[in-house]
Amino acid sequence: MVNPDDVRNVVGIIGNFISFGLFLSPLPTFLTIIRKRDVEEFVPDPYLATFLNCALWVFYGLPVVHPNSILVATINGTGLAIEAAYLSIFFAFAPRPKRAKMLGVLAVELAFIAAVVAGVVLGAHTHEKRSLVVGCLCVFFGTLMYASPLTVMKKVIVTQSVEYMPFTLSFVSFLNGICWTTYALIRFDIFITIPNGMGTLLGLVQLILYFCYYGSTPKSSGTTTGMELPVKAGDSDNN
């Protein structure tokens, strides 16, 4: 008989690989920044958001908070390191005003993370209470991040063009959502299920839009902002 925990571990490992690929998706953007030595019109917001999201999921996946979820911690720990590298590159080539803003937001995030860790460790003395507090925060921030492609989906509908919604990124994001939702359902975890279930649904809608508008003649719209997807691995991003 197949052990559900073994199946869950296999699904989680697959999810780690898929999420790792998503974390690396902004790499061409940062290679461009390094080559031109200029951040141009790029903004650090998606990477700052993903940094916070990953940090919360790392904490959630630790045995001290939620036992038997170490695969959630491993991929988000990897994502945290990758986002830190992205932010370092952005900081190195950004003008002073953008640097100051980025440092301010990062300082607030680090203070928030420290407060969450201290409050949970000192104020919640059972795994159930710790999982509830950290899990609710992860769901809140993870849901906000999964909702970020809505602006791009609106642009696809308005322009009737999928130019700014790459198929590969949408498809892999959909697979990522399915993988982590499955992982959460095997040993039911509502906090992983909610944001990843939403991510799966939004990923499916993106694919439907892609097939509806692929090959259509684009209509003009006022902006040319490309798709940037923050990654939620183990909650499941992004870019």
| DSSP code per residue over 85-146 | HHHHHHHHHS-HHHHHHHHHHHHHHHHHHHHHHHHHHHH--SHHHHHHHHHHHHHHHHHHHH
Pick the range with the lowest mean pLDDT from 14-18, 100-104, 148-152, 215-219. 215-219
- For the ranges 5-9, 14-18, 144-148, the maximum mean pLDDT occurs at 14-18
Q: Which of 15-24, 52-61, 165-174, 190-199 has the lowest mean pLDDT?
A: 165-174
Q: What is the DSSP string of 44-65?
A: SHHHHHHHHHHHHHHHHHSTTT
pLDDT digits (tens, 9 = 90+) for 112-140: 999 999 999 999 989 999 999 999 999 99
Provide the 8-state DSSP code for 222. S
Q: Rounded mean pLDDT of 38-66? A: 90
Using CA atoms, how far apart are residues 202 and 15, in angstroms rounded to an integer?
18
Rounded Cα distance between 208 and 202, Å, is 10
Residue 165 has a pLDDT of 76
DSSP code, position 184: H
pLDDT digits (tens, 9 = 90+) for 173-186: 899 999 999 999 99
Higher pLDDT, residue 168 or 147: 168
Task: With residue 194 as reference, give the H or E element that holds it.
Answer: helix 190-213
Quote the percentage of the chain above a pLDDT of 90: 54
The conformational region for residue 151 under phi > 0 = left, psi -120 to 50 = alpha, else beta, is: alpha
Q: Which burial class, exposed, middle or buried, applies to 15 when counting CB atoms under 10 A from its CB (0-12, 13-18, 19+)?
A: buried
Mean pLDDT of 216-239: 51
Dihedral sign from CA coordinates of 10, 16, 22, 28:
negative
In this prediction, residue 137 carries a pLDDT of: 95
CA distances from 210 to 72, 171, 226 (A): 30, 10, 15
Q: In Å, how far from its chain's centre is CA 128?
A: 25
